[in-house]
Amino acid sequence: MSLEAGTKLGPYEILSPLGAGGMGEVYLATDSKLDRKVAIKVLPADVASSPERLQRFEREAKTVAALNHPNIVTIFGIEESGDHRFIAMELVEGETLDRMIAPSGMPLAKIFDIAIPLSDALAAAHDKGIVHRDLKPANVMVTKEGRVKVLDFGLAKLTATGQGGSSPDDVTMSAPLTGRGVVMGTVPYMSPEQLNGEDLDHRSDLFSLGIMLYEMATGQRPFKGKTSAIITSSILRDTPRPVQELNGVLPRHLGRIIERCLAKDPEQRMQSAKDIRNDLRALLKEVDSGSELSESQPVSIQTAVAPPPSSTSSTSVSGSSMSAPTRRGEFWIGVGVLAVVITLAAWWLGRDGSIANKVAVVEETSQDSVMARSGSTATLSTEDSSRPSEQPAKASITLAVLPFKNLGSPDDEYFSDGISDEIRGRLAKVRKLGVISRSSAFQYKNTDKTNRQIGSELGVDYLIDGTIRWDKRGGGAGRVRITPELIRISDDISIWSQPYDRQLEDIFEVQSDIAAQVLKQLQITLLEPERRVIEVKPTENSDAYHAYLRGLVYMAQPDYSEELYRLAIQMFERAVSLDPSFALAYVHLSVSHSAMHHHGYDPTEDRAAKAKSAVDRAFELQPGLPEAFVALGWYHYWCHRDYTRALEAFHVAQKDLPNDSRIVEGIGYIRRRQGKLEEATRYLKRALN
pTM of the shown model: 0.45
How many angstroms separate the Cα of 86 from the Cα of each of 45, 72, 79, 93?
11, 19, 6, 20
Beta-carbon contacts of 332 under 8 Å, excluding residues fewer than 6 positions away, are 685, 688
Q: What pLDDT shows up at residue 605?
A: 94
* Cα dihedral 523→525→531→534 (10° resolution): -30
3-class SS shares of the chain: helix, strand, coil, % to 5: 50, 15, 40
Q: What is the pLDDT of residues 226-268, one digit of tens each?
A: 888 888 889 998 889 998 888 877 888 899 899 999 999 999 8
Pairing relation of β-strands 493-497 and 479-488?
antiparallel
Distance separating the N- and C-terminal Cα atoms of the chain: 64
Active site positions, annotated: 134
Q: What pLDDT shows up at residue 590?
A: 97
Average pLDDT over residues 151-178: 42
Inform me whether the pLDDT recorded for 375 exceeds 50.
no
CB 123 within 8 A of CB 202: no
345, amino acid identity: A
How many angstroms separate the Cα of 571 from the Cα of each of 498, 608, 613, 639?
33, 19, 17, 22
More confident position, 86 or 58: 86
Q: What pLDDT shows up at residue 477?
A: 64
H or E stretch at 556: helix 542-556
Inform me whether the pLDDT recorded for 618 exceeds 80.
yes
Q: What is the pLDDT of residues 186-214, one digit of tens each?
A: 889 999 988 888 888 899 999 999 999 99
CB 555 within 8 A of CB 312: yes
CATH code for the part of the protein at 8-90? 3.30.200.20
Q: What is the pLDDT of residues 257-302, one digit of tens each?
A: 999 999 999 998 999 999 999 999 888 887 766 544 433 333 332 3
Average pLDDT over residues 662-668: 87
pLDDT above 90: percentage of residues in the chain: 26
Q: What's the angle, vertex CA 389, arms to CA 386 and CA 391, rounded to 5?
A: 55
Confidence band (pLDDT; 50, 70, 90) for 378? very low
Q: What pLDDT shows up at residue 146?
A: 85
More confident position, 186 or 154: 186
- Give the span between the Cα atoms of 551 and 414, in whole angstroms: 10
**What b/e readout covers 204-221, taking b as 16+ CB neighbours within 10 angstroms?**
bbbbbbbbbbbbbbbebb
Topology of domain 540-658, per CATH?
1.25.40
For residue 120, which of 103, 140, 138, 104 has the smallest C-alpha distance?
140
Q: Which of 228-242, 305-319, 337-351 has the highest mean pLDDT?
A: 228-242
Confidence band (pLDDT; 50, 70, 90) for 176? very low
Beta-carbon contacts of 54 under 8 Å, excluding residues fewer than 6 positions away, are 43, 48, 85
Q: What pLDDT shows up at residue 632?
A: 96
Query: Is 299-537 the same fold as 94-297?
Result: no
Q: Which CATH architecture has domain 299-537?
A: 3-Layer(aba) Sandwich (3.40)
How many angstroms separate the Cα of 443 from the Cα of each of 328, 567, 686?
11, 24, 18
Inform me whether the pLDDT recorded for 304 exceeds 60.
no
Q: Where are the domains of the chain?
A: 8-90, 94-297, 299-537, 540-658
- DSSP assignment of 433-484: EEE--HHHHGGGTT----HHHHHHHHT-SEEEEEEEEEE-TTSTT-EEEEEE
CATH code for the part of the protein at 94-297? 1.10.510.10
Inform me whether the pLDDT recorded for 357 exceeds 80.
no
479, amino acid identity: R
Phi, psi (deg, nearest 5) at residue 649: -65, -45
Q: What pLDDT shows up at residue 531?
A: 76
Inform me whether the pLDDT recorded for 322 exceeds 50.
no
Average pLDDT over residues 334-339: 48
Q: Worst-scoring range by mean pLDDT, 323-327, 447-451, 511-515?
A: 323-327
Q: What pLDDT shows up at residue 540?
A: 87
Confidence band (pLDDT; 50, 70, 90) for 461? very high
Whole-number average pLDDT of the chain? 76
Beta-carbon contacts of 68 under 8 Å, excluding residues fewer than 6 positions away, are none
